Structure 1
């Protein structure tokens, strides 16, 4: 695969320092959380908790049995969703992860041959070679970075990645209707303070939308 030029898409070649090894990376973007070893552990645990809440990795209505399937995971973090999806799939399935930073991804030589990582911002046009490329696009937990409370620009860019008839799965927490579960007689004041700053992601109801 050719290396993509510019800030909208760069192929991960393993030469960039990574946050997975415990090194705290200097921030190069607006990401509010850390990219260190603890953050990597959080992302991995979060992935399996989220999968447990939903009851699936990909929505049951999305066909994923094609041996030549092309799948994208946007805001991939450390790539845990792609690694989980790859289990039991043939090596002919092409898996691509996109994120504004690849600091939490292991070096490319350590990745399976069919997993490729690229830097890309959801607020930019997709790299031209990936327009209309994917059968399935997955994205999760990005409402906290949506600008002006308007997801339409992000949604438009995500849909450009899809082939005609492709599927977009967007997983989010229901921050409108979820609530904090407390124990009677024990103060929940600290949780009340933490809840808004976490985007409502404490014991919230998980939801998944497919398009």
Structure 2
């Protein structure tokens, strides 16, 4: 990694893990699937096509997506599913990550890359005349600070399909869904998305990346945000982009 690499923006603790779990559950409901239907149709359709040697175990390991793929991992996988790299990579690293996923896949293997259009996150009125001042007032400096740290890819997540295509994937396609495709999830979405904005605000304020803000000020504004969100008077909304592509023969 380069010397100017900034660490992952969000914390790595149980509270954040629980928030991410809730976020992923919400994504599953609103996107409507875990593995894209076009990939399921392309994979083995009956037990005769499964690998002959299986021990029923799942192996866990760490892999740095920004480093060259180790030889023993090259062309070993049928599917690689990435989620939520937004805020985690610098602009120059997205293309590198996509190329490394291409190296991991077998010929004919699939990538599914799902990310949130977080740069276009907005707070909307559900009740006419309800205030959005606190929510918008906290979000704006958070997005500005993340942009200054180069944690958003060019053209936001809307450029994700072109990025995957340029990495060498074929037959690429894209689904776009909203965080409230299932309207009943808005209340839950509000909780984990406000937690994300608040946590980012605290981290960035402590880094000095949000001039004029302290952790205590973020907490104070968050209390007002929660009041605005109460009883669904206003709600957070954003889009998901799900890009699929295939490695050539």
Superposition TM-score tier, normalisation by shorter sequence? 0.5 to 0.7
Distance 1:136 1:42 in 2: 26
Match of residue 85, structure 2, among 142, 150, 160: 142
Q: TM-score, normalised by structure 1?
A: 0.58
- Structure whose residues are more often helix by fraction: 2
Cα 1:177–1:149 shift into 2, 3 Å: farther
Q: CA offset at residue 169 of structure 1?
A: 0.3
Cα deviation code 1:160-208 (max 9, x no counterpart)? 1111111000001134655322243222122223435377964211121
Aligned equivalent of 1:31: 8
Aligned equivalent of 1:195: 139
Residue correspondence of structure 1 range 1-211 to structure 2 within 5 A: 30-63=7-40, 64-65=43-44, 92=54, 114-148=57-91, 151-175=94-118, 179-183=122-126, 184-196=128-140, 197=142, 202-211=236-245
Other structure's SS at 2:96 match = helix
Distance 1:56 1:180 in 2: 26
Q: CA offset at residue 145 of structure 1?
A: 2.1
Unaligned residue ranges in structure 2 (runs of 5+) = 147-155, 157-192, 194-235
Unaligned residue ranges in structure 1 (runs of 5+) = 1-6, 8-28, 71-90, 94-112
The one of the two structures with greater contact order (alpha-carbon pairs below 8 A, sep at least 6) is: 2
Distance 2:123 2:116 in 1: 13
Distance 2:65 2:50 in 1: 22
Aligned residues: CA RMSD: 3.1
Q: CA offset at residue 159 of structure 1?
A: 1.2
